[in-house]
Structure 1
Amino acid sequence: MVEVQNLGTMIQSRFGQTAAIRFDGERYTVCFASNGVPAVLQEFDLLSGELLFRESIPNTDCCWGMCATENGDIYLGGINDGVLYRYSSDGLMPIGTNPSDRWVWQLYSTHGRVFGGTYPGAKVFEYNIETGEFHDYGIVKEGQDYVRGLTADEQSIYAGIGAAKHVVRIDRTTGELEELDLVGVSGSQGFVDRLWVIDGYFFVSCNYTEVRVFRLDTLVQVGAFPYDNMLINSRVRHPGRVYFKQGRKLCYWDIAGESWSETEICTLPEGRVKALEWVSVDGEPGAESGTEISRSDGQQAGTEESTLALVTVNAQMALIRLLDGQVIIRSLDIEPQPILIHCLETGDDGKLYIGGYQRGFSLFDPDIDEIQHNFELFPQSEGMTFLGGVAYFGTYTHAHMFRFDPMRPIDFGTTSEHNPGWIGELGHAQDRPFAMTRGGGRVIAGTVPDYGLRGGALAMYDPAAGQWEVYPDIVPEHSIQGVAYKDGLIYGGTSIWGGLGAAPAEGPARMFIWDVAKRMKLAEFVPEIPDMDRPPCMIGELSAGPDGLIWGAIDGTLFAMDPMTTRIVKSRVFFPSEYKYSKYRPIYLRWGADGYLYTTLARRLIVVDPVTLEYMQLSDAIVGNMALDHHGRLYYAQNKELYRLILPENPFSLNPDN
């Protein structure tokens, strides 16, 4: 019989995608929704860091939308069920399900209303705080999936769209939609993710990294500046200035001069800003335990003190005194939360390398059942491979590639000198390197492009040279979902699905052959598989089998190809081609020391006899990730937990032939 062991959670992290600063009538506090299974809302005293409240948020592992109202109440929404929550002195309470979508991306509050932008319908809703009623404004932009940017006044709602950028103004009385023609923004790939109307100017955030400034009356652009996700206008000390963080610097946009400048404050915490607010602080805030104080030179004393408070994605809080440049930084005492397992592989060293959703990477020793390292802020790993005992990671977003040598001292960072460390960005508008393998002394990756785009890339890394070679659009408009190496050639499989928000490309999916030495494509073809129930939409993974054949998966179908002739030698449709689950994660193919092939065809965990193509299903679970350790034990992920299957020497002894 199969022995099933639940090994528990593997990755814990302390970060969150949304926060808010509020005044509860007595003091300023920070509300922070940390990612985890489940997500958790936590509130801290802004000055002392004291934990005031902590409670799980049901049915969600992440919150993107949160806002504070005029009376200090907090509203937030998750990504799974569309429920809107209110946090107040009465605690955290669900107040209803929004009528638009299950995924709330953005919330904004003004004049007794809470407005929400959603995914995947690109809709906007309104909640009347006094009456408790919802109103659905419907789809804001046909053909788009996301409303990520949101602001409103008494007459209008402004919605920022993606995965092609658009801004739509909604008349709150009539519901009429008017698209604003923003030159250089409208129709281009990406997201309008935040919006502000300040003193007759329209501040339009693009892709979380750049703000473009337009005059609201004419929609003429007057400038742009880089930033870290949030901005706020000065109310007292410097009217006409709009402050924002860029890197570790505090900067501002000058409305009168229509230009931006850096202040001399340059010691802010790294990371995207999730909350930014003016606060009134009585006296000088003291240095609490766990705080870091710095003072910028050259600050001129003023007659009024203004203090900015900000919170980053990594749960760091900063108090910034513009009077003298003093910055107090504190790490919020966030309780680590278990993270969804997103990627799973066995390394050359026999350890399990486990990547988390949005953040996190753990190294698990299966011989002693111990997590040896947990990197909380490691970026989301889509794919992994190993070369010369070194682990290589393809991460989201923007296809940043990392390397980890388990034999070197640990020093996680974002340069090639760090360990784990960054070794390049693939560029060419690529986003998700799911397909990874090794061959010919190189790391090989196949990618899915950025949001709203079609067309992946093939990438190769030579560790000796420390350089990437990237070849986009090997098969035009197709992503690359499978790569295998044999005798100087790369065999690739494609997918019709591009970045999120993009319509599928014309099918069917194809295979290609790439000559590594000549740097050229030798062939492109659709594999001729007998009895296929439909043309392939996604081919991958691919694997160079011990029998000399190239093996491949197409959802519920397995095939083996002669690499010399590209003839399909054997195949079987095990399950219907429904593509019910991920359109991006390849089907795993792993060869056991017993000679059998272990795979996740149609997201079922099965073992296949490569000679007869008989199979046995090993679990009833829906499985996205799996790995075999060096002892032949099988691992698979279920949400935040890792499971191990211990099989008999002959797994087919468990079941009659299939």
Structure 2
Amino acid sequence: MRGKPIINNWMYILAGLLLLILAGFPSLAQANSGQESTELSNTTYGEPEKLLAPLTGTVSIFDGVVGKEDGHNVMYTTAKGIPARLNVVDLDNYKLLRTITLEGAESTWAHEVTVDGDLYIATIGGGAKLWKYSPKTKVAEVVATFPGQTFPYSITSDPEGNVYVGTYPSGKVYKFNSEREEVTDYGKMIDESSRQYIRSIAYIDGNIYAGTAKDKIIKYNIASGEKSNIAASLDETGTVYDMDKVDNRYLFIRYNDTKNGYIYDTQTQKWLDVIVPNVRGLHVEEESYNGSVYYMTPDDKFMSIDLNTLEINDTGMRYGSGLRGADWVEFNDPQLPGKSLVTINWSGSVTIFNIETNQVIERPSLVKGAPAIMNQVKNGPDGNIYISGTQATEGAIFSPSDNSTVSFNLGQGDSMSSFGDKMLFGVYPGARIFEYDTKRDPANNNPKQLFQIGEDQDRIGDIISADGKTFIGSIPDYGKLGGALTIYDPTGEQTTPTVYRNIVENQSVVSLAYKEGIVYGSTSVNGGLGIDPVAKEAKIFKWDVENEQKIEEISLSIEGVNNPQTIGDLSFGENGLLWGAVDNIIFALDPHTLNVVKSKKIYPDGALYYADWQTVVLEWSNDILYAKFDNNLTAIDPKTLVSHKITEAKSFTIGDDGNIYYSLPSNRTLLYKVEVSSTGLIQEILDSYHTSEDIKQPVYAELTNKLEQAKHQLNKDDKSKAVKHLNALLKHLNNESLSEFISNEAKGLLNAKVENLITALSSGEDEPPANSIPLLNSDFEEPLADGIIPGWTHAFQESEEHYHEISDERSFSGNSSLKIVDTVRSASVALYSDKIDVEPGVEYMAATRAYTEEGSASFLLRFYDKDGNQVANYANHFESMLGQWEEVNTQGVAPENAAYVRIYAYTTSYQVGTVYFDDINLWTKQN
């Protein structure tokens, strides 16, 4: 891997929304001009390197449905992934007919075959969408979207082929008219909180029945719009997770909390006099068989209930899963007489229940899956990277030493932490804690469940371990407020966990830190989904472990922080300060007084978005604080608070090798790496290998000496002499006569780190790009000519509220920069360059240094034809980190009819801000 400095990293290229550094060199993070040399300023960050898709061991399926295609019975099912994949399985000949990619979708809980045989799929990912697949054309396409909705959890249809979809977060029901391809919004079925589910749905005789997560089953009459709650008499709580119509008359429903089933007669409008106990999700068949309905129980029993006598019977058949779809099929097979009930399981295996013979036949999975979506990545005590999946049944262990992975059984791990040689996982749902022994291979009992928190807790916000104990912060179940702090001491007399709920009243515990017998915690006002918060602001608290009591609770007093919804992460760092983050601000507290010692706004106000309970994740490495603000992975110098955005990341961790391992927001199936190198990091690695005796004297002493000399020269800003000492270090490191004193693993890692650093330091940071195109007054140092900036023209009329000027208030180089001030959204400020001739078909790249005092701005390339008509526009609408110079880039290919290009520094009509531009450059890859 080659390296380059961040001061003139002219090969940086923005890849659309990914905002990834795609250049062939690492970057050397630099402090502002005049700053003393710090560890961050001497650290190189390599180009993002795609490693692999780690979660590939299983197919993940939530639902399936039987249809007809070319005269054959087929199973339609969709495998979760990015993108999701629709699979069509021929049930008669049992073969996979086709797999169709659903671009932009990730998963689905809901398939429906309508009366005309078409398949509809309600998908999650990129917003709620409704897809239609035709068994005639064999094509799948999006036919409807539902603005503002993210999860279309339920779907049903009527005898005319219209489709009805129930959604989250608004708890709405929509109708899609298949003939006119029109969408009707029937609105919210209930209006009790800002986040509501329609988790199950059915249509019978002009009425929609919507199962909510608020106990209720709403009967909605389409003609009149009248609503009523038919579940009022059931005295049930929780989510109506499942609902199926049976014989176009009955509703068979299941409550998730109690697992009780009920049957509603829509003709008599009464509940049948029976509670069906111990029902397992997710479906029952829509037609009874000889008057009976068949369902599963959690203990794998295939049961029946007679709709006439209400007698419940055990069929004797067994199946180790729930019914993810349940449809009758008549096979042309004498061994399967009559009708058989067909379903599909999580991994894609099709199972057939033949009622007449009492056979259960499981057929192997033919489904083609997609790489599963990563949830969290975390460095483990063994130097491996542990990865959990979203809505998953497996995790993965990635070995950085050989880029290999091993799978293990795990649900959705929302939090991970090491405890000695063990890894602990907080698994959703049910707030369960699992333990993995890193000294053993994965097995059925490795990882194993240690305990379930209980106390209405559902999600794990954070896990930390210290002084032989584990501390857990959690978030309550759906529709509930009040998280908990849980303390688990596996070595003490009481090996069961102690749960302290409502440490901060009605708030969830989302982040923890520990020091000297005190747990420091931060909270979110948000509780479980489906309930609005009652607390006004998140808090920070201290908990005395020995005395089992809260000893302090504070509001965060920082300028610009008003009624924060969530505070966190918390982490101890430099000089024993308690570091934390909230929204776009990093801060450090005195742990004794909880007074703010220092703070800084890193990103502009309004630039970031956080989901419920989402914190700013913090990790330390080599005296650098890494923080993930929204999806912006950022390195922060704890001394100066100078920061540097590294890449976009959904989840990240720092490996034992000092490298950054992360998933992309745009494709969370892939694991990426950024190579990190610095003299300080190399010394940390040297010390670690010396402690483990992978590097022995005299090699350790000599390598340390050479490294100290290189570091000394860097502090004097003499890079050429630093490189000389680093080359001497490499020579000594690879001296064959000393190979007995160093392991191959240590030698390999150190060679990579030192070579990366040498390349970065030797890359000629003051040189322009190889194919640089001269620009007039690109650094804004030329004196004004009759009030005009040489080489630049302003596009719009200006006023005191929006204007540009040449400013000596700040500059990246020289004495001056271009300053744009825009305080109104009804106007724009734009400066554009003189014409620059271009060659069609060639890619042009532009870069500028930008300093954002507040707000945001844009940097553009606009191509024009010979008549002055705009033919292409490539814009970077940036919201850079506040209070420091950053490089901003854009690039584009000149169209066939392009004659020239202009560069724009711009605040658009929807932007406001005060932004400085300096050192604008243009270049091309073509020689």
Give the TM-score normalised by structure 1. 0.88
Matched letter for residue 86 of structure 1 = K
Q: What's the counterpart of residue 389 of structure 1?
A: 421
Alignment of 1:608-623 (within 5 A): 608-619=636-647, 621=648, 623=649
Which one of 108, 113, 134 corresponds to residue 156 of structure 2? 108
Question: Do residues 167 (structure 1) and 217 (structure 2) align?
Answer: yes
Distance in structure 2 (CA, Å) of the matches to 1:108 and 1:201: 14
Aligned with 2:488: secondary structure? strand
Alignment of 1:214-233 (within 5 A): 214=264, 216=266, 217=268, 219-220=270-271, 222-228=274-280, 229-232=282-285
Aligned with 1:337: secondary structure? coil
Matched letter for residue 110 of structure 1 = D
Q: Would you tell me which structure has more strand in proportion to its own residues?
A: 1
State whether residues 248 and 286 of structure 2, in contact with CA within 8 Å, keep that contact through their aligned partners in structure 1.
no
Distance in structure 2 (CA, Å) of the matches to 1:400 and 1:256: 41
Matched letter for residue 547 of structure 2 = K
In the TM superposition, residue 285 of structure 1 has moved relative to its aligned partner by: 4.9
Structure 1: where are the runs of 5+ without partners? 287-303, 413-417
Question: Do residues 449 (structure 1) and 471 (structure 2) align?
Answer: no
State whether residues 346 and 353 of structure 1, in contact with CA within 8 Å, keep that contact through their aligned partners in structure 2.
yes
Alignment of 1:220-619 (within 5 A): 220=271, 222-228=274-280, 229-232=282-285, 235-236=288-289, 238-266=290-318, 268-270=319-321, 272-285=322-335, 305-359=338-392, 360-371=394-405, 373-375=406-408, 378-412=410-444, 418-464=445-491, 466-529=495-558, 531-545=559-573, 547-576=575-604, 578=606, 580-592=609-621, 594-619=622-647
Q: What's the counterpart of residue 53 of structure 2?
A: 9
Closer, same or farther in 2 for the Cα pair 1:47/1:478, shift >3 Å?
A: same
Q: What's the counterpart of residue 652 of structure 2?
A: 626
Distance in structure 2 (CA, Å) of the matches to 1:99 and 1:487: 52
Matched letter for residue 325 of structure 1 = N
- 1:61-97 superposed Cα distances (whole Å, 9 cap, x missing partner): 1112211123432111212344322221311332521
Distance in structure 1 (CA, Å) of the matches to 2:127 and 2:573: 43
Distance in structure 1 (CA, Å) of the matches to 2:269 and 2:486: 45
In the TM superposition, residue 347 of structure 1 has moved relative to its aligned partner by: 0.5
Closer, same or farther in 2 for the Cα pair 1:380/1:422, shift >3 Å?
A: same
Distance in structure 1 (CA, Å) of the matches to 2:91 and 2:297: 19
Question: Do residues 140 (structure 1) and 169 (structure 2) align?
Answer: no
Alignment of 1:110-129 (within 5 A): 110-112=158-160, 113-129=162-178
Closer, same or farther in 2 for the Cα pair 1:571/1:313, shift >3 Å?
A: same
Distance in structure 1 (CA, Å) of the matches to 2:87 and 2:509: 41
Q: What's the counterpart of residue 299 of structure 1?
A: none
Report which stretch shifted further, 27-36 or 221-230. 221-230
Report which stretch shifted further, 644-653 or 439-448. 644-653
Distance in structure 2 (CA, Å) of the matches to 1:506 and 1:556: 21
In the TM superposition, residue 99 of structure 1 has moved relative to its aligned partner by: 5.1
State whether residues 233 and 243 of structure 1, in contact with CA within 8 Å, keep that contact through their aligned partners in structure 2.
no
- 1:178-206 superposed Cα distances (whole Å, 9 cap, x missing partner): 333423457x4434442435586543222
State whether residues 269 and 329 of structure 1, in contact with CA within 8 Å, keep that contact through their aligned partners in structure 2.
no
Q: What's the counterpart of residue 891 of structure 2?
A: none
Distance in structure 1 (CA, Å) of the matches to 2:292 and 2:85: 37
Closer, same or farther in 2 for the Cα pair 1:95/1:66, shift >3 Å?
A: same
State whether residues 403 and 420 of structure 1, in contact with CA within 8 Å, keep that contact through their aligned partners in structure 2.
yes
Closer, same or farther in 2 for the Cα pair 1:214/1:153, shift >3 Å?
A: closer
Matched letter for residue 478 of structure 2 = Y
Question: Do residues 57 (structure 1) and 102 (structure 2) align?
Answer: yes
In the TM superposition, residue 123 of structure 1 has moved relative to its aligned partner by: 1.6
In the TM superposition, residue 480 of structure 1 has moved relative to its aligned partner by: 0.8
Closer, same or farther in 2 for the Cα pair 1:115/1:200, shift >3 Å?
A: closer
- 1:502-540 superposed Cα distances (whole Å, 9 cap, x missing partner): 2133221111112222222222222333x2342322111
In the TM superposition, residue 311 of structure 1 has moved relative to its aligned partner by: 1.4
- 1:586-627 superposed Cα distances (whole Å, 9 cap, x missing partner): 2211111x21211113442222222232222223x2x33111
Closer, same or farther in 2 for the Cα pair 1:200/1:483, shift >3 Å?
A: same
Which one of 663, 667, 690 corresponds to residue 637 of structure 1? 663
Q: What's the counterpart of residue 129 of structure 2?
A: 83
State whether residues 598 and 608 of structure 1, in contact with CA within 8 Å, keep that contact through their aligned partners in structure 2.
yes
Structure 2: where are the runs of 5+ without partners? 1-26, 28-44, 681-713, 718-759, 766-811, 813-882, 885-927
- 1:105-138 superposed Cα distances (whole Å, 9 cap, x missing partner): 1111230222211222222122333444433222
Distance in structure 2 (CA, Å) of the matches to 1:650 and 1:496: 43
Aligned with 2:653: secondary structure? strand
Distance in structure 2 (CA, Å) of the matches to 1:602 and 1:152: 40
Distance in structure 1 (CA, Å) of the matches to 2:245 and 2:403: 50
Aligned with 1:183: secondary structure? helix
CA RMSD of aligned residues (A): 2.6
Q: Would you tell me which structure has more helix in proportion to its own residues?
A: 2
In the TM superposition, residue 156 of structure 1 has moved relative to its aligned partner by: 1.1
Matched letter for residue 618 of structure 1 = I
Matched letter for residue 333 of structure 1 = L
Q: What's the counterpart of residue 139 of structure 2?
A: 92
Alignment of 1:22-61 (within 5 A): 22-24=67-69, 26-61=71-106
Aligned with 1:226: secondary structure? coil
Kindly name which structure, 1 or 2, has the bigger radius of gyration based on alpha carbons. Answer: 2
Distance in structure 2 (CA, Å) of the matches to 1:35 and 1:525: 43
Distance in structure 2 (CA, Å) of the matches to 1:204 and 1:512: 43
- 1:359-381 superposed Cα distances (whole Å, 9 cap, x missing partner): 1311111122222x123x62111
Closer, same or farther in 2 for the Cα pair 1:524/1:533, shift >3 Å?
A: closer
Distance in structure 2 (CA, Å) of the matches to 1:43 and 1:234: 23
In the TM superposition, residue 438 of structure 1 has moved relative to its aligned partner by: 0.8
Aligned with 2:61: secondary structure? coil
Closer, same or farther in 2 for the Cα pair 1:601/1:81, shift >3 Å?
A: closer
Aligned with 2:232: secondary structure? coil
Closer, same or farther in 2 for the Cα pair 1:133/1:385, shift >3 Å?
A: same
Aligned with 2:224: secondary structure? coil
State whether residues 493 and 511 of structure 1, in contact with CA within 8 Å, keep that contact through their aligned partners in structure 2.
yes
Q: What's the counterpart of residue 415 of structure 1?
A: none
Aligned with 2:538: secondary structure? coil
